[in-house]
Structure 1
Amino acid sequence: MTETHIHGPHPSGGYILDELSVGMVAEKPVTVTEGRIEAFAEASDDFNPVHMDEAFASKTAYRGRIAHGLLSASFGSAVVGTILPGAGAIYLSQTLAFHRPVRIGDVVVARITVAAVDEVSARVTLRCEGYVGEDLIMDGEAIVRVPRRRRPARD
């Protein structure tokens, strides 16, 4: 097995199209907390009791509260917007499949891998995965538009 090089944010805040290549990877670990679930419920207006009410959730197939799937998916958005490609990347589409529930206290590692670079359209296809430990909890594919060049600095 080859070792994967994990990329950090570009010094400018974002990679431009010419700096991206297939196989580049970035990760971000995020702990799921009660506060994050509450804030996400407030922002999304999704107060499903499987996320908010332990008594209700304990009677479901999950046997307790689980985080919103899109909360976990948003951690991938954080990688795309702040690390790879970073500032200037614009989401065009995203597919998602959820495989396991995420609970309060879990650390989700959002992993983004450059799968394809389209020089003509300035679009990049990204493989998006989320892990809790070794368990794949979600995956999918995003297509983002990436700047071709950096804006000149203003005085």
Structure 2
Amino acid sequence: MIELVTKHPSGGYILEELHVGMTAEKIIPVTEARIGQFAEASDDFNPVHMDEAFASKTAYRGRIAHGLLTASFGSAVVGTILPGAGAIYIAQTLGFHRPVRIGDDVMVRVSVVAVDPESARVELACEGFVEGQLVMDGVATVRVPRRRRPAKD
């Protein structure tokens, strides 16, 4: 059973608040600007992402977004919604199933699939969809805080 959650008022869920089935979703548009910024940040200027003339001659018949750009949308959910602030990535598996293009809206879904109280680690199923079609999936392992710091007076 899934329980759709929103951002915690404090900015992040602590370990004791997390349970299997908690799920968060976010829709992120793929734009020319995002692709350009990701190319700059990653130094990946593969012409299949940057050059329409080149990309139109590939099996994709046009430009596609970087796979790791799409995967980073999962990080946006993990770092800001579920678990949110304080979560630290330990590991991530990824599978890419369909190309993502400029103009697509990627709906990212992150769900808690396991909680390990001893290690303060949580496993999260991460999926990305465009128009209901799975474009990417994987499992993230993140470390989360055990308790909140007291508010400053």
The corresponding residue for 1:93 is 91
- TM-score for both structures, normalised by structure 1: 0.97
- How many aligned residue pairs are there? 153
Structure 2: unaligned runs, 5 residues or longer: none
Match of 2:105 among 94, 104, 107: 107
> 1:71 offset after TM fit, Å?
0.4
What are structure 1's unaligned runs of at least 5 residues? none
The answer (yes or no) to whether the contact 2:77–2:84 under 8 Å persists in 1 is yes
Deviation at 1:6, TM superposition (A): 1.7
Match of 1:152 in 2: 150
TM-score, length basis structure 2: 0.98
* Superposition CA RMSD, Å: 0.8
For 2:4 and 2:107, the matched residues in 1 are separated by 12
Which residue type is aligned with residue 120 of structure 1? E
Write the distance in 1 (CA, Å) between the matches of 2:129 and 2:97: 10
Match of 1:67 in 2: 65
- Residue of structure 2 in register with 1:38 after alignment: 36
Q: Residue 129 of structure 2 aligns with which residue?
A: 131
CA contact (8 A) 2:3 2:21 kept: no
From 6, 28, 36, the equivalent of 1:8 is 6
Q: Which of 11, 18, 21 in structure 1 is aligned with 2:19?
A: 21
Alpha-carbon distance between aligned partners in 1 of 2:152 and 2:85, rounded to the nearest angstrom: 17
Query: SS of the counterpart of 1:35?
Result: helix
Identity %: 75
